Amino acid sequence: MSSADVFALVSPVNTEVVTSPVRFNFQNTYVRLPERFYSRVNPTPVAAPGLVKVNEDLARSLGLDPTELSSPEGVAILAGSRVADGSEPLAIAYAGHQFGHFVAQLGDGRANLLGEVMGLDGVRYDLQLKGSGPTPFSRNGDGRASLGSVLREYIVSEAMAALGVPTTRALAAVTTGESIYRETMLPGAVLTRVAASHLRVGTFQYFAARNDTQGVRILADYAIARHYPEAASAKRPYLALLEGVISRHAQLVAQWVLLGFVHGVMNTDNTSISGETIDYGPCAFMEAFDPDMVFSSIDRQGRYAYSNQPRAALWNLTRLAETLLPILDENPDTSLASAKEALSTFDPQFEMARLAGLRRKLGLVTEREGDLPLAEQLLASMAANDADFTLTFRRLSDVAGGSADDTVRTLFADPRAYDSWAAAWRSRLAEEPISAQERAAIMRRANPAFIPRNHRVEAVIEAAVERQDFQPFEEMLDVVSHPYEDRPELERYTTPARPEECVRQTFCGT
């Protein structure tokens, strides 16, 4: 199947469910792929849909009307109780390595792809409901999501978007009027997720595990058409696809580590082909810098610890390369050599992106050989002195603009560790051709003032779940949507957790 065939649209299939006049203007392509790629399944209606939030700016960027989405008909669609005109709901098939263990069939067990829309930017986006009920891939699960997990993903994914990190987005959150059981009874909710697509490394693994080379080829053609159109004209399109995915993930993981972000569950089924951050379950932003930080309650070996994320990404990309071996070249030896060569570029690309980011965070616009050791020395001192990752770099931005060192020194258990490093930093800054004001401005664009701190997210969830109070959610969403702005009146959102407030484990929501 060619790229042109993949995107040839035909008339939507007929359904016998109740439809709605809310206009989405779906232009669906994934459902045109062979039926072994998915299972047609409608969302399961809920008892009493209730709107929590519609992301109005995102809706408009997708050509959608926020007022329509907020109407009773719109909320019914977002909850899964109605199917919109033009929607062809389905659950995508995929496999995956979960903490290193391969599962040949996973799939959308609690998600439903409603269809695709063209954004005003000319990009095609998936609209998916998460927590919309059981599917053939549910593996005895209830297919539902808790309100807390929905609010967490909404907040963190929107924070990531505001921070400039490629990510899925949250279009809406609704309550279901039903309870679900997760060790205790919790209110249910549904998240409407927007993604460049929901193709994963695990999607390729699904077909490779079945020795379905034709399926791998069809999927690769689709991925090229949707995400890497330049690869279509390459001498070896499938190798160009692999190289493109590797490059995007090298950049993506570099952005994660530069922000102190820990994904928490970097399984191959959570590794997107588009290069977006996807599946916000046991994720968090570090406070006190710790390279070995783990948040996932089930990652007891630290497989996806902060410092292991580049290694995990390369491991996942190697699994992608394995699925593509039969189509990279007719000669198996050539195919294997090409894959190895492509994978060998990940580390250099990651390190280059990380170093460039560290220079921006330290206000360095020129390149010197000692820049990486200078940055590493700071990180080592931060780790040894429990210095807050985000606050250290943000306050360094102020120091670069002329503020006193005390605001940074007090973050270190032993302030002398900072003093020693700061002397070397100032010596390096003296070699720079820009003014202090210019430097501070560059650093403030690289070092956020606000992140969704874990204890603040938990406070939002507690207010919503225990008291049906969504005002803290609205306020925090406003805060993290403007992460680089100075907002003194919201300083409490920059404050690290007190010992009794620390949240050291997060959960996936299933």
Maximum Cα–Cα distance across the chain: 72
378 with 335, same domain? no
Distance, in Å, from the CA atom of 201 to the CA atom of 248, rounded to the nearest integer, reads 13
Among 279, 281, 304, 300, smallest CA distance to 291 is for 304
Within a domain: 289? yes
Contact yes or no for 274/199 (Cβ under 8 A): yes
Structure token pair of residue 190: 């549904």
Domain boundary among 353, 375, 397: 353
Burial 257-287 (b: 16+ CB within 10 A, else e): bbbbbbbbbbbbbbbbbbbbbbbbbbbbbbb
Mean pLDDT of 387-416: 95
The verdict on 38 and 165 lying in the same domain is yes
For residue 224, tell me if it sits in a domain: no
Residue 7: predicted pLDDT: 39
Residues 194 and 317 in one domain: no
Residue pLDDT, tens place only, 119-144? 999 999 999 999 999 999 998 889 99
Q: Quick one: average pLDDT of 86-106?
A: 96
269 noted as active-site residue = yes
Share of the chain above pLDDT 70, in %: 94
How many Å apart are CA 503 and CA 6, to the nearest integer? 45
Angle ∠(289,349,373) on CA atoms, nearest 5: 45
Rounded Cα gap, residues 255 and 273, in angstroms: 17
154-170: pLDDT as tens digits? 999 999 999 999 999 99
Decide if pLDDT at 280 tops 90. yes
Amino acid letter at 337?
Answer: A
Does residue 205 sit within a domain? no
Q: Are residues 369 and 243 in the same domain?
A: no
Evaluate if residue 10 carries a pLDDT over 50. Answer: no
pLDDT for res 51: 98
Rounded to whole angstroms, the Cα distance separating 388 from 390 reads: 6
> Domain ends where: 353, 380, 396?
353
Section 8-13 average pLDDT: 31
Q: Residue 260: its pLDDT value, please?
A: 98
34-58 average pLDDT score: 97
HEC letters along 334-378? HHHHHHHHHHCCHHHHHHHHHHHHHHHHCCCCCCCCCHHHHHHHH
489 found inside a domain? yes
Residue type, 104: A
Distance from C-alpha of 238 to C-alpha of 231, rounded to nearest angstrom:
7
Residue 333 pLDDT > 70, yes or no? yes
Q: What is the pLDDT of residue 437?
A: 95
pLDDT at 427 over 80: yes
What's the confidence (pLDDT) of residue 8? 39
Report the chain's mean pLDDT, rounded to a whole number. 93
Alpha helices in 167-273 (DSSP H): 201-208, 213-227, 237-258
- Looking at residue 457, its amino acid is V
Last residue of a domain, one of 198, 222, 249: 198
Number of domains in the chain: 3
Mean pLDDT of 314-339: 97
| Alpha-carbon span 297 to 268, nearest angstrom | 19
CA angle 254, 255, 261 (to 5 degrees): 105
- Alpha-carbon gap, residue 349 to 313, rounded angstroms: 13
pTM tops 0.85: yes
Residue 484 exposure: Cα atoms within 13 Å on the Cβ side? 16
Task: Please give the share of the chain, as a percent, with pLDDT higher than 90.
Answer: 89
Say yes or no to pLDDT of 299 above 60: yes
Q: Is the pLDDT of residue 484 over 90?
A: yes
Q: Are residues 381 and 417 in the same domain?
A: yes
Pinpoint the alpha helices (H) of 20-87.
56-61, 66-70, 72-79
User: One of 126, 269, 279, 388 is an active-site residue; which one?
Assistant: 269
**What mean pLDDT comes out for the span 360-370?**
97
Residue numbers of the domain that contains 381: 363-510
> Per the domain annotation, does 212 fall within a domain?
no
> Are 443 and 307 part of one and the same domain?
no
At residue 211, does pLDDT exceed 50? yes
472 lies in a domain? yes
What residues have CB less than 8 Å from 432, skipping those under 6 apart? 363, 364, 365, 366, 439
Reply yes or no on whether the pLDDT at 148 is more than 90.
yes
Query: If pLDDT is split at 50, 70 and 90, which confidence band does 281 have?
Result: confident
125 and 42: one domain? yes
What is the mean pLDDT of the segment spanning 248-272?
A: 97
